[in-house]
Amino acid sequence: MKIKTISEKMLFTTVKINTMTSKNEQSTGTGFVFGFALDDNKNDLYLVTNKHVIKDAITWSFRFIPKKTDGEPDYNNPIILNLNNLESLWFGHEDENVDVTIIPFGLLYNLTLKEVKKEIFVQPIYAHSIPTNIQIENEINALESINFVGYPSGLIDEYNNTPIFRKGTTATPYALDFNGEKKFLIDATVVGGSSGSPVFILEEGSYTPKGQTSLVFGNKVFFLGIVAKSYEKTNCLDLKVVPIQTNDIQNKVMSQNIQMLDLGVVFKAETILETIEQYKIKNKI
């Protein structure tokens, strides 16, 4: 498959993350490459995921798609990078309630190049795709179709090594901070492995602008944020918002009779920018 469209590029934004704790507990989640395009064809890139995806991990496994000599993705020969001792290299948002953490992507890229002598094929999500305040006001409606991409329940196309697309809608307006925090809700099925998935508005080819009724030709693309939590309730109607499970969610639901409400919590993209800024200040970059 030649990469020609925005949705095709999105297939290469994510990384499957598997971890192991000291208690031999395995989990899986989604990471994605995000950053800034600099001058001279250089980038400032980070791998982004949730704090709870890497919590208590002592080993990490990252699954990448390599780049062929012609610059195209080598779908059928994944790179599996297994690493230890990364705990101190992750940097989480300084607000403990913001479930966002980052690690410099260049570190993983260089380690991969050193270990397997192959380059990673990746299509980063760039900061310029985050909507500005003016764009939020003029172009993003209260109810929008959204897409997110990742590895629900650890599912991946094992042959092509590509992630899974999911769809839904905004459940609260993106223009408002849900409960006064920098997040919003989506009406979508978010399950274990979806933690860390990037969320987009993506309308390719044509779309109806906000406040209008006629189609216009073109693309409407915005990066909105990162999936982190979901709502659930028990038989006693106790409603909770919890981090999306990264392991064995089905057994949890069956044993405790927990009902998933198909409402996901997404931390807004600006929290990722904040995390990167905090990281740079701490490390005097």
How many other C-beta atoms are found inside a 10 Å radius of the C-beta of residue 263? 20
CA-wise closest residue to 190 among 245, 268, 262: 262
Considering the chain, what percentage of its residues have pLDDT values greater than 70? 90
Q: How many angstroms separate the CA atoms of 261 and 253, rounded?
A: 12
- Range with lowest mean pLDDT among 106-120, 216-230, 239-253: 239-253
Q: How many angstroms separate the CA atoms of 99 and 94, rounded?
A: 10
Q: How many angstroms separate the CA atoms of 68 and 70, rounded?
A: 5
User: Please, what sign has the CA dihedral across residues 241, 247, 249, 251?
Assistant: negative
pLDDT value at position 85?
Answer: 87
- pLDDT tens track for 17-36: 999 988 888 889 999 999 99
- In contact, 82 and 91? CB cutoff 8 Å: no
- pLDDT tens track for 234-268: 655 565 565 655 554 444 444 455 556 789 999 99
Q: Is 154 left (phi over 0), alpha (psi -120 to 50) or beta?
A: left
Q: What is the mean pLDDT of residues 119-133?
A: 97
Mean pLDDT of the chain, nearest integer: 90
> Would you call 241 helix, strand, or coil by DSSP?
strand
The 10 Å CB-count burial string (b at 16+, else e) for 95-126 is eeebbbbbbbbeebbeebeeeeebbbbbbbbe
Q: Over 80: is that where the pLDDT of 231 sits?
A: no
